[in-house]
Amino acid sequence: PLEAPARDPAAAARLLDAGIAAYRAGRIGDAATRLDAAVKADPTNALAWYYLGAVQWSLGKTDAARDNFRQGAAHEAAGTA
pTM: 0.88
Q: Which residues does 35 contact at the CB level (< 8 Å), separation at least 6?
A: 15, 16, 19, 23, 48, 51, 52, 55
pLDDT for 3 equals 62
Q: What is the mean pLDDT of each run of 10 residues along the chain (81 residues)?
A: 74 97 97 97 95 97 97 89 56
**Could you tell me which of 42, 41, 17, 44 has the C-alpha nearest to residue 31?**
17
